[in-house]
Structure 1
Amino acid sequence: MFDSVMTMSAEVAEETTKAASDISIADAAVTAVFGYTVVFVGILILMIVIYIVGAYFKSKDAKAKQNAVDTAKTAAPAAAPEAAKPVAPGSAGHIKLFDVPDKEAAMIMAIVADKMQKPLNELHFISIKEVK
């Protein structure tokens, strides 16, 4: 089986070599120029498509920016400055601590408040448990 495949591939190679040697230089030149032209036109079409898509998205972005500017101009006079939020009461109740000292619980609550960028008195902790 392997020998028959090798024989067939050798025959195909010989036929291809004969066909390639039968082509004159002028025919080969015409074929090459035609191939180069097809590739060049394909790249040119691809470039035009990319340019059109880019122009579409640029115009879409410009329209969105213009709408945002128009909205900001109309909304700016209507918006009044916000009043400061009232301070929350001092105690938020009791917290259940499970195997956590008071000092560590206070540090954990301070870290959470800092990460959330909220004052500690606006947060309500129910319980703190050490994960082992």
Structure 2
Amino acid sequence: MFDNILVSAAVEKAEDISIGDAAVTAVFGYAVVFAGLVILMIVLYCTGAYFKSKDAKAKAAADAEAAKKQAAAPVVAETKPELPLAPGSAGHVKLFDVPDKEAAMIMAIVAEKMQKPLNELHFISIKEVK
């Protein structure tokens, strides 16, 4: 019984509202929604900034700890310095049961078939299939 009265009162009220009142109500509703979104955006930004600063502090502490350990560690002379790569070189190739001469021929054939310069190709390993 009361439900019918409330529904009919709401229907009558919706019919009585003017266009100006509806516009004001809509604008107010949009303003509330956008204000909520702005507040949510501010909260997320602040949370992100907090965690970034927390990570930066942890990284700085780890770097300081590593620097202390490195300063305390004895100095060891390097046995073999790493040779610089030639211009256009793609690094080292692992050869498995393949002589250097055959590997060079395979790389040259692949470069020829792909119509690419050899220094633009990157060979990781060459393995003989038995």
Tell me the TM-score normalized by structure 2: 0.54
CA-CA distance at 1:50 after TM superposition: 0.7
Provide the identity percentage. Answer: 55
The CA RMSD over aligned residues, in Å, is 1.6
CA distance in 2, matches of 1:64, 1:8: 62
Counterpart amino acid of 2:18?
S
2:23 aligned partner: 29
Of the candidates 73, 78, 99, which is equivalent to residue 72 of structure 2?
A: 78
1:8 aligned partner: 2
Counterpart amino acid of 2:25?
T
Which consecutive segments of 4 or more residues in structure 1 shift more than 2 A?
Answer: none
CA distance in 2, matches of 1:31, 1:8: 27
Alignment size in residue pairs = 75
CA distance in 2, matches of 1:75, 1:23: 76
CA distance in 2, matches of 1:27, 1:77: 75
CA distance in 2, matches of 1:49, 1:13: 39
Unpaired runs of at least 5, structure 1: 1-6, 81-132
Counterpart amino acid of 1:63?
K
For residues 1-132 of structure 1, the aligned pairs below 5 Å read 7-79=1-73
Could you report, residue by residue, the CA deviation over 1:82-123 in whole angstroms, capped at 9, with x for unpaired residues? Answer: xxxxxxxxxxxxxxxxxxxxxxxxxxxxxxxxxxxxxxxxxx
CA distance in 1, matches of 2:71, 2:53: 28
Larger gyration radius, structure 1 or structure 2: 1
